[in-house]
């Protein structure tokens, strides 16, 4: 293996480049990963588009990444061996109050340092779009080697969905609506279905409707039908047990409020939106109808292990969510494709 790492970096709006740097030394609890694929998520291409200018440059980002262990520190735990396939979790300190409670996504140390302290050579980010990286043993989950590298890279987004589904308390035979059939909408639908729910999807884009239907989901074409009226008709006027809002727009928020059943309905606000979506509701409605409005963001380490099982045992099939695979050397083209309206995940091949 090389002593250098080759990686993608955003240097300014709509400009992605490939740089090289020396591979850092690894410690006794760290491993060297030959990274094979990193999928471009909304956060990544949002900065490329100029929608996240609060994030610094140069950004060596990417976090939906998988690869194989090629070197390991002397004190790395025994279940991680050279040759194992792994995917990367969120980082956390493991020592602060939130981490000790299991809420690693709320790590106090991470909030202080994330994208605020550059590497010694001036880069920000996790070096996800890199052919090699050094990772702490805490941040790796073993993956099924029969998964493609691009599929294994879905560990992180799947974990964020697992967190939301668990907070929503989805149970078998419940009726759940997912608003939006993008990558994260369909991932929510797949995992809600894996938890036993009867899933209905609403979507306006014909390409996404076709993909969702090809995956076996019941889909309401919201470009031709009033989705609230359609849901009421499908449920004999009762509404559904829960709604997952997987698009960050005001109209979706309002539709969710009208789709849930009269009492004890639950709404998960999974997606962020820019500009900021609005939510208008009389608090008395929440009070008298006992509606739950649930926020979810990120994933805790337990969610990563749950997601790993869903992927490794092929309980969910996420292959339809991979739009295209693009080599690292064509990173600019990869970001152009990732930010194209209607596309699913673009997977950057790193080796």
In a domain, 283, yes or no: yes
Give the tens place of pLDDT for each residue, 72-93: 999 999 999 999 999 999 999 9
In a domain, 312, yes or no: no
Strand order in the sheet with 266-269: 218-221, 198-203, 175-179, 242-245, 266-269, 292-295
The residue written with tokens 């359609």 in the block is: 230
Together in a domain, 56 and 180: no
Together in a domain, 326 and 237: no
Give the tens place of pLDDT for each residue, 150-207: 999 999 999 999 999 999 999 999 999 999 999 999 999 999 999 999 999 999 999 9
Together in a domain, 342 and 270: no
Q: How confident is the model at residue 44 (pLDDT cuts 50, 70, 90)?
A: very high
Residue 134 has pLDDT above 80, yes or no: yes
Q: CA–CA separation, 218 vs 240, rounded Å?
A: 14
DSSP 8-state code for residue 277 = P
Residue 114 has pLDDT above 80, yes or no: no
Residue 2 has pLDDT above 80, yes or no: no
Together in a domain, 326 and 198: no
In a domain, 309, yes or no: no
Stretch 293-302: mean pLDDT, rounded? 97
In a domain, 140, yes or no: yes
Instruction: Quote the domain boundaries for residue 64.
Output: 4-154+318-349
Together in a domain, 10 and 143: yes
Together in a domain, 274 and 218: yes
Q: How far is CA 177 from the centre of its chain?
A: 19
The residue written with tokens 């390991």 in the block is: 72
In a domain, 180, yes or no: yes
Q: Hey, which bits of 13-111 come out as E strands?
A: 15-22, 30-40, 64-72, 85-88
Q: CA–CA separation, 327 vs 109, rounded Å?
A: 34
Give the tens place of pLDDT for each residue, 212-232: 999 999 999 999 999 999 999
Together in a domain, 266 and 287: yes
Stretch 246-260: mean pLDDT, rounded? 97
Give the tens place of pLDDT for each residue, 317-350: 999 999 999 999 999 999 999 999 999 999 999 9
Phi, then psi, of 106 in degrees rounded to 5: -105, 20
- Looking at the structure of the chain, the number of domains it has is 2
Counting Cα atoms < 13 Å in the Cβ hemisphere of 260 gives 23
Together in a domain, 136 and 54: yes
In a domain, 121, yes or no: yes
Together in a domain, 131 and 148: yes
Together in a domain, 57 and 173: no
Averaged pLDDT of the chain: 96
Identify whether the C-beta of residue 216 lies closer than 8 Å to the C-beta of residue 190. Answer: no
Identify whether the C-beta of residue 206 lies closer than 8 Å to the C-beta of residue 190. Answer: no
CATH number for the domain harbouring residue 75: 3.90.180.10
Q: How confident is the model at residue 54 (pLDDT cuts 50, 70, 90)?
A: confident
Determine the pLDDT at residue 115: 75
Together in a domain, 133 and 48: yes
Burial of 261 (0-12, 13-18, 19+ CB in 10 A): middle
Together in a domain, 148 and 172: no
Which residue, 280, 295, 310, sits at the end of a domain?
295
Give the tens place of pLDDT for each residue, 56-74: 999 999 999 999 999 999 9
Q: How confident is the model at residue 111 (pLDDT cuts 50, 70, 90)?
A: confident
In a domain, 215, yes or no: yes
In a domain, 303, yes or no: no
């Amino acid at each position: 293996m090389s002593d250098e790492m080759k990686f993608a970096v955003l240097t300014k709006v709509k400009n992605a480049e490939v740089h090289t740097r020396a591979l850092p030394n690894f410690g006794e609890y760290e491993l060297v990963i030959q990274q094979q694929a990193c999928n471009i998520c909304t956060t990544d291409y949002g900065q490329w588009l100029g929608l996240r200018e609060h994030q610094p440059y140069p950004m060596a980002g990417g976090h939906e990444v998988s690869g194989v262990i090629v070197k390991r520190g002397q004190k790395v735990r025994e279940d991680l061996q050279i040759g194992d396939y792994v995917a990367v979790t969120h980082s956390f300190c493991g020592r602060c109050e939130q981490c000790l409670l299991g809420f690693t996504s709320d790590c106090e140390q991470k909030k202080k340092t994330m994208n605020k302290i550059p590497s010694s050579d001036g880069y920000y980010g996790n070096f996800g779009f890199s052919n090699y990286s050094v990772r702490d043993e805490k941040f790796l989950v073993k993956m099924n080697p029969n998964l493609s590298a691009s599929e294994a890279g879905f560990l992180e987004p799947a974990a964020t969905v697992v967190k939301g589904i668990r907070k929503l308390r989805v149970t078998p035979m419940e009726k759940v609506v997912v608003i939006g059939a993008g990558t994260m909408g369909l991932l929510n639908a797949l995992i809600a279905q894996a938890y036993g729910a009867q899933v209905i999807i609403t979507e306006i884009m014909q390409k996404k409707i076709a993909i969702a239907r090809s995956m076996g989901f019941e889909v309401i074409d919201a470009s031709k039908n009033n989705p609230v009226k359609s849901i009421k008709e499908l449920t004999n006027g009762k509404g559904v047990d829960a709604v997952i809002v997987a698009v960050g727009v005001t109209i979706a928020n309002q539709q969710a409020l009208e789709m849930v059943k009269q009492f004890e309905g639950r709404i998960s606000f999974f997606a962020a939106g820019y500009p900021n979506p609005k939510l208008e509701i009389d608090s008395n409605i929440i009070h008298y109808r006992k509606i739950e409005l649930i926020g979810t963001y990120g994933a805790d380490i337990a969610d990563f292990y749950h997601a790993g099982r869903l992927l490794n045992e092929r309980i969910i099939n996420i292959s339809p969510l991979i739009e295209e695979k693009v080599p690292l050397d064509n990173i600019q083209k990869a970001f152009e494709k990732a930010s194209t309206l209607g596309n699913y995940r673009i997977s950057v091949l790193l080796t």
